[in-house]
A and B are shown apart, each in its own frame.
Chain A
Amino acid sequence: MIAAAIWKDMQLLLRDRGTLISLFALPIVFIVAFGAMFSGGGTSPDVPRPIAIWHPTPSPAGEVVERALAATPGFTPQPLASADAVRAAVAAGTVDAGLVIAADVDPAHGHPVELAIDLAAPIQVRAPLTGALTAVVTRALGAPVGAELVYLEARQPPGIRKPLPDISGFQITVPGNAVLFGFYIALTVAMSFAGERRTGTWRRLLAAPVPRWKVMLATLVPYYVIGLIQLTFLFGLGASLFGMRVAGSIPALVVLSMCVVLCAVCLGLLFASLGGTEKQLGSVGSVCLLVMGLLGGCMVPRLLMPDTMRSIGHIVPHSWALDGYYDLLVREGTGFSDIAPSLGALAGFAALFALIGLRRFRFET
């Protein structure tokens, strides 16, 4: 019976141009549009930031750099106990970057200051920071005019995984829009419930010798399958057409996507349980999903957002999904353990949505 339901809903979907467009075509347009935007020049968010710093004491060079950093608007030096502490702080994400000024620092002779920074962070974040710090260090150590010295050398601190070389904007916009539009399945699910009620087919389902939980599954499972097809399509297209690459584990990507669709379908059940008409769902639901996508960083990556917005993003499943995708697509060698928080959060959201949805859902109205 569930198989018959899947078959029925597939046929319905193929005839429903509006839904087809919003699930499959619109995301491509967004991927291309945003992809083009992100491949352009970076923005420079000039927010005051703590920068971890370590140098041996005494160290004339270190002290000069530290003072220069303190004197630079937008930065505050955060002295730590050791070089490794600086690297660890960057790896943990408590600071965006750190400077390690070794005892033998001498840019003129191949001993540059070490800049600890996540090389996998988007160029939009990394470039302005690297640029500004290079300027501070260069000025502090007094560069001879015209000399092409490496004052600062960026290195990936241990504890965070190395990025793929030359990341394109599509690494960000493909998952961003896959998640944004993947969650639109929730709307399709809710509208399908409302449509069955409006046309009276719901009565037929309830009059049939089928338990009610199975009637519910027969409405949900087809959209779970359709959601998986949708994400497969979008990531497949991203990989084949836009050069999106998966740096980490493919099985982890598959499991993450399954969690995303599960979460979206459960959200659909929650929407359906609120009992609106198709029209109400269409307007309220789509705005709701758009705001969730925005907060979750589907359109503008959360890494580019101010800290408060970044934390607020965690109230929507989208952000967790994108954190997971980001790790898997951008960082080499990532696997299940790296995206465990994302998987856990998505499963949690799914359970919460399903629980509220099931409690509120009325078979009879």
Chain B
Amino acid sequence: MSPPALQLRALAKTYGERTAVAGIDLDVAPGEILGLLGPNGAGKTTTISMACGVVTPTRGEVMIGGLSLARDPYGAKRRLGLVPQELALYEELSARANLAYFGALYGMSAAAIATRGDWVLGVVGLADRDREPVKRYSGGMKRRLNLACGLLHEPALLVLDEPTVGVDPQSRNHIFETVRALRTAGMTIVYTTHYMEEVEALCDRVAIMDAGRLIALGTVRELIAQHAGRGLAIEITGDVAAAEVAAAAHADVRREGATLHATPHAGLGALVSAIEATGATITRIESRQATLEAAFLALTGHALRDDDAPAPPTSKAATP
């Protein structure tokens, strides 16, 4: 059996007092797309930077295709392609000139850079604009070139750090399709994002990070089944704190403003009666679709993005 495409063992990074990554164990199987999901500052970039040899870990080990990054850095790095979170491009240069330089870093010959460049520019749909300075590209085109630069040397493992930030829907779809096509061709992909939809649409498995820790790992289906049970959102007017205490006897409850997020232990009736017994009025009850968002909420106790509303309602129950 081939070794995992990527193995992280007790990988940790501290910056002075601050712990960016607090010890992560993770295996990425060959040929899978693994989503690395987490809010801002969760430690995603730090984790993959350590996995790529960009940041030296404080503790722990990285193996790429069975090669230790510490002991055989060049062998390990050759198998790996990194697409940084930033647009890591020379904006004054053309796509071709960028590829030429990054290809040279991997010891590619000029001929190989040219033929592989044709392929990779075709894949990301930039073949017809390849001689233009990158600064004239749209945001989405730059993102696609950013991806192309990480692909040029045919890595077995491709690490993407938020590859769709700030792109138009068209470029985003293009990137999705590229990633799927690469997986079909046998490439292993680690896909970092803070968009749930991307993970649900693309990834075979999800690793959820929060505050430097890996808090859940599994397929999207597994995570939803385990963590996003039959959730209810109960909107209340009156003494919400008292209602929460009362509800806690009948459900797992978490309060968010005037809303109680509850997973009842038994029937809905006992829960509703207990809340109403405190004198509070239930203005609305929503049952939530079991989404990754809900699983994330249940796991971390907060939304993935600050601007996110809690998961979208799917069915509205009339007030009793």
Bound-state CA distance A3–B105 (Å) is: 11
Q: Is the CB of A209 within 8 A of B107?
A: yes
Bound-state CA distance A7–B105 (Å) is: 13
Bound-state CA distance A60–B133 (Å) is: 83
Closest 5 CB pairs of A and B: A200-B86, A4-B104, A200-B88, A208-B105, A209-B74
Report chain A residues within 8 Å CB of B52: 203, 206-207
Q: Is A16 an interface residue (CB 8 A)?
A: yes
Q: Is the CB of A8 within 8 A of B90?
A: yes
Nearest A residue to B78 via CB reads: A209
Q: Is A145 an interface residue (CB 8 A)?
A: no
Bound-state CA distance A200–B85 (Å) is: 8
Q: Is the CB of A200 within 8 A of B87?
A: yes
Q: Is A148 an interface residue (CB 8 A)?
A: no
Closest CB-CB distance, B158 to chain A, in whole Å? 12
Contact partner of B84 (CB less than 8 A), chosen from A7, A15, A203, is: A203
Given known A204-B82, A209-B78, contact A12–B92 (CB-CB < 8 A) = yes
Interface string of B81-106 (1 = CB under 8 A from A): 01011111111110001001110111
Bound-state CA distance A4–B88 (Å) is: 17
Nearest B residue to A15 via CB reads: B92
Report chain A residues within 8 Å CB of B133: 15
* Chain B residues within CB distance 8 Å of chain A: 49, 52-56, 73-75, 77-78, 80, 82, 84-93, 97, 100-102, 104-107, 133, 149-150
Report chain A residues within 8 Å CB of B101: 4-5, 7-8
Report chain B residues within 8 Å CB of A16: 92
Contact partner of A203 (CB less than 8 A), chosen from B49, B73, B77, B100, is: B49
Report chain B residues within 8 Å CB of A283: none
Q: Is the CB of B92 within 8 A of A204?
A: no
Given known A209-B73, A364-B56, contact A203–B82 (CB-CB < 8 A) = yes
Given A8-B101, A209-B78, 4 other A-B residues pairs in contact with their CB atoms under 8 A: A5-B104, A200-B85, A201-B88, A203-B49
Bound-state CA distance A11–B73 (Å) is: 30
Given known A5-B101, A8-B93, A199-B87, contact A204–B77 (CB-CB < 8 A) = no
Bound-state CA distance A79–B133 (Å) is: 73
Bound-state CA distance A208–B150 (Å) is: 10
Q: Is A205 an interface residue (CB 8 A)?
A: yes
Report chain B residues within 8 Å CB of A8: 90, 93, 97, 100-101
19 contacts between A and B (CB under 8 A): A1-B107, A3-B104, A5-B104, A12-B90, A12-B93, A15-B92, A16-B92, A199-B87, A199-B89, A200-B85, A200-B86, A200-B87, A201-B88, A203-B54, A203-B84, A204-B149, A208-B77, A209-B73, A364-B56
Q: Is A210 an interface residue (CB 8 A)?
A: yes
Name the residue in A200, A202, A205 with the highest tally of chain B Cβ atoms < 10 Å from its Cβ: A200
Report chain B residues within 8 Å CB of A199: 86-91
Report chain B residues within 8 Å CB of A364: 54-56
Report chain A residues within 8 Å CB of B89: 199, 201
Contact partner of B104 (CB less than 8 A), chosen from A1, A15, A202, is: A1
Closest CB-CB distance, B116 to chain A, in whole Å? 15
